[in-house]
Amino acid sequence: MALDTLDLSVFIALAVAVLAYLAKQKLFPTKDDSGFLPASSNSGRNLLETIKRNGKNTLVFYGSQTGTAEDYASKLSKELSSRFGLKSMTVDFSDYDFDNFGDIPNDILCFYLVATYGEGEPTDNANEFVEWLENEADNLSSLKYTVFGLGNSTYEFYNSMGRKLNEKFEELGAERFATYGEGDDGKGTLDEDFLTWKESVFDTLKNELDFEEKELTYEPGLKLEESDFLTIDDSEVSLGEPNKSYITGTKDLSKGPFDHSHPYLAQITKSRELFTSNDRSCVHIEFDISNSNLRYSTGDHLAVWPSNSNENIETFIKAFGLESKNDTVFQLKKLDPTIAIPFPTPITYGAVIRHHLEISGPVSRQFLSAIASFAPDDASKQRANKIGNDKAIFAQEITQNLFNIADTLLYVSQGKPWTKVPFEYLIENVAHLQPRYYSISSSSLSEKTTINVTAVIETEKKDNRWVTGVVTNLLKNIEIVQNKSSDKPVVTYDLKGPRGKFSNFKLPVHVRRSTFKLPSNPNIPVILVGPGTGVAPLRGFIRDRIQQKKNGSTIGETLLFYGCRNENEDFLYKEEWPEYAKELGESFEIFTAFSRHDPNKKVYVQHKILEQKDKINKLLESGAFIYVCGDASHMARDVQASFSKILAEGRGISEEKAGELVRSFKVQNRYQEDVW
Ligand code: FAD
């Protein structure tokens, strides 16, 4: 029977649809590896099986909070594969169980890159591993390891995690095959410290373990395949949604648990500028959590998920010549099954740049020398190698100019776009955007369904170029638009978000539990020290105590030491303190230090603390708790020294003994710090 014209056209349409469907299935498999899975998913949580199944002989473990250790681990793992032919994989501690950890055979090289967080604590993803190591691990005699610790010497427990792992492994019989290393973010030398350590480890691999070194070449772990079928209008395509649930809509998004892989889209219901100065800015932001089961308790931290500014995106796109690619949809295929696909796919180039890559921070020397092979011409390649291989030139020409990746590459190539860089390379080598943490400035007792944060906006002008912090400028942009303020944003953002999901001033957030907590007995006196935005959680504490008083509790004395530059420009929550004093009565006192009040004499909180030595001494004798929040680099140390001095004088003991006493207060949680 012959087909008539209508039948024929229906048949052709059907055939095209079937072919398109089949091609799409081939290019875009719908099984789970299409995005956002832990690398371990192929072999579950059994590390030994994963190693065996994938033929690995080198493991690069990372304990990472802000993404730096993870970024170092991924670069190191690639370099070990490419330079030494090792079969290397990165390992996120939280992806595996540790019960057979002691059975890792001794022909596997284990690298541990671990950051220390807060008061000498492990990062969230290493928490359980450290607990296991301290309490359960026994014999690790077959483990061959080396450790690099990422720390900050302005903190008291500098690099305690790196040191702990190194010592504990040794104690349990493991064999360190290369030197232990440490990097110091406090001195700003983390990158260089890491490079120095890495070079010494590579020397060991060559000279003592007889590995042959090859020239570094890029061996992709992911393959990017552009789609001929999908567009930004297809509902399965990620336009930058925080995770897959936000694309498929299959989960009730107001229900948790909310954490680093699943945020809540919280609406900012109120925002206001707190400074009155023309050149500095600090915003108070209120997130509404009433329609969710997201909960917090006073003193916790709010993690705010970032996206990049339009201006930084534009320069990045220009640097790599990606102008025509913004809306192109692609899928990623794993060439190495142990590599995790870091965001939901299929996705557009534009969404990756805006929502997933850390494009605006400082660039590392390692990044520049590694990307040199993709330079647009020989002259640029030579310049990239020259700058990337020389610490001093790099510091002078790149670091001191506060260049980001795009600025650096355009500077090196004198404006020529780096079109030879594969986008997979950027996905694998540019750090991924991480949430920023803010000490919550509200009280969970008095406002259960609102989370307040207080953020100082990070902007700096360098030779007519704005260098900007990602999240703080996003918050400022929201504040300006929400209040129809006449302030001009330094940089602007897409406030509507993917598919308009962030409209009405919503941002993805989650809460991180903190140990910075008031004593459970409200009658215990507290001494609160929080200059600048350090006052944020202390405002929450004071609001807690007011609520406790309203609930009938007797409230112990509450001393607040606050400092800023100038009473009339940056005195945070200036109008609120007299209200709190009224509520708490005589038990509340605020002492202020305005550092720029007298041009001949800088006064800081530590001076004000010393002025109150008798009162403080008495309170400490009656069991007062001390809370210090804010700048970790100088303030926390100077404040601690003031308390030691007061204790030494008040108790007639040496300053050394008083210092030990303060440290013992810390151990007993009577001296708590929330510093960054
Ligand atoms: P980022 O993008 O992270 O940039 C960081 C800095 O680098 C900025 O100063 C930025 O200007 C600069 N920078 C950007 N690009 C470059 C470049 N190319 N070269 C050199 N420098 C560059 N902050 C608060 O304001 N309030 C709080 O209550 C608060 N609480 C915190 C609690 C905790 C536990 C922690 C860990 C941190 C807290 N912070 C707080 C700090 C906060 O998390 C952010 O680090 C801060 O707001 C900056 O974030 P950002 O995204 O704006 O800047």
Task: Considering only the C-alpha atoms of the chain, give the largest distance between any 2 of them, rounded to a whole number of Å.
Answer: 111
Query: Is residue 485 over pLDDT 60?
Result: yes
Q: Please state, for a pLDDT cut of 70, what percent of the chain lies above it.
A: 94
Is the ipTM beyond the 0.90 threshold? yes
* Contacting residues for 415 by C-beta, under 8 A, at least 6 apart: none
Integer-rounded Cα radius of gyration of the chain: 27
Candidates 307, 629, 631, 644; catalytic one: 629
Cα–Cα distance between 65 and 434 in angstroms, integer? 9
The helix/strand/coil state of 75 is: helix
Beta strands across the sheet bearing 625-630: 588-594, 558-564, 526-529, 625-630, 671-675
Partners of 438 in the beta sheet? 302
Architecture of domain 222-249+309-429: Up-down Bundle (1.20)
Residue to substitute in 458, 478, 629, 635 for testing ligand 1 pocket (most ligand atoms within 8 angstroms of CB): 458
Residue to substitute in 117, 471, 493, 570 for testing ligand 1 pocket (most ligand atoms within 8 angstroms of CB): 471
Please report, to the nearest 10 degrees, the dihedral formed by the alpha carbons of residues 616, 618, 621, 623 taken in order.
-60
Which CATH code fits 266-305+435-512? 2.40.30.10
User: What are 100-156's pLDDT values in tens digits?
Assistant: 888 999 999 999 999 998 778 999 999 999 999 999 999 999 999 999 999 999 888
pLDDT at 4: 45
> Do residues 144 and 175 make contact, with C-beta atoms less than 8 angstroms apart?
yes
* Contacting residues for 611 by C-beta, under 8 A, at least 6 apart: 591
CATH 3.40.50.360 for the 39-207 domain, yes or no: yes
- Give one DSSP letter per residue of 523-580, joined into a string: TS-EEEE--GGGGHHHHHHHHHHHHHHHTT-----EEEEEEES-TTTS-TTTTHHHHH
pLDDT at 43: 58
The helix/strand/coil state of 643 is: helix
Alpha-helical segments (H) within 208-303: 245-248
User: What are 504-557's pLDDT values in tens digits?
Assistant: 999 999 999 999 999 999 999 999 999 999 999 999 999 999 999 999 999 999
Regarding predicted confidence, which is higher, 633 or 468?
Answer: 468
456 lines ligand 1 (CB under 6 A): yes
676 lines ligand 1 (CB under 6 A): yes
Q: What is the 3-state secondary structure (H, E, C) of 243-256?
A: CCHHHHCCCCCCCC
Q: Do domains 39-207 and 526-675 have the same CATH topology?
A: yes
Tell me which residue has its CA closest to atom 45 in ligand 1. Answer: 436
Cα–Cα distance between 5 and 257 in angstroms, integer? 57
* Contacting residues for 62 by C-beta, under 8 A, at least 6 apart: 69, 70, 72, 73, 90, 91, 92, 93, 112, 113, 114, 125
Average pLDDT, the chain: 92
- Give one DSSP letter per residue of 504-515, joined into a string: TTEEEEEEE--S
Does residue 439 carry a catalytic annotation?
A: yes
Task: Based on DSSP, count helices (H) and strands (E) in the chain, helices before strands.
Answer: 21, 23
321 lines ligand 1 (CB under 6 A): no
> Do residues 454 and 284 make contact, with C-beta atoms less than 8 angstroms apart?
yes
Query: Is residue 500 over pLDDT 90?
Result: yes
Does residue 674 carry a catalytic annotation?
A: yes
Tell me which residue has its CA closest to atom 48 in ligand 1. Answer: 469
Task: Give Cα separations from 408 to 3, 398, 490, 530 (angstroms).
Answer: 64, 7, 21, 37
Task: Give Cα separations from 609 to 91, 130, 581, 594 (angstroms).
Answer: 46, 37, 19, 13
Query: Is residue 46 over pLDDT 80?
Result: yes
Tell me which residue has its CA closest to atom 39 in ligand 1. Answer: 438
Confidence of residue 644 (pLDDT cuts 50, 70, 90): very high
CA of 457 from ligand 1 middle (Å) equals 8
Does residue 676 carry a catalytic annotation?
A: yes
Beta strands across the sheet bearing 436-439: 436-439, 301-304, 506-512, 264-273, 282-288, 450-456
User: What are 208-224's pLDDT values in tens digits?
Assistant: 999 999 988 999 999 99
Ranges of each domain in the chain: 39-207, 222-249+309-429, 266-305+435-512, 526-675
Ligand 1 closest atom vs CA 118: 34
Over residues 593-613, mean pLDDT: 94
Confidence of residue 370 (pLDDT cuts 50, 70, 90): very high
DSSP H or E run through 109: strand 109-117
Over residues 357-377, mean pLDDT: 96
* Contacting residues for 546 by C-beta, under 8 A, at least 6 apart: 443, 446, 580, 583, 584
Tell me which residue has its CA closest to atom 31 in ligand 1. Answer: 438
Task: Give Cα separations from 625 to 126, 297, 489, 516, 635 (angstroms).
Answer: 29, 18, 41, 11, 18
Which fold, 526-675? Rossmann fold (3.40.50)
Residue to substitute in 287, 365, 472 for testing ligand 1 pocket (most ligand atoms within 8 angstroms of CB): 472
> Do residues 111 and 78 make contact, with C-beta atoms less than 8 angstroms apart?
no
Handedness of CA 222, 228, 229, 232 (dihedral sign): positive
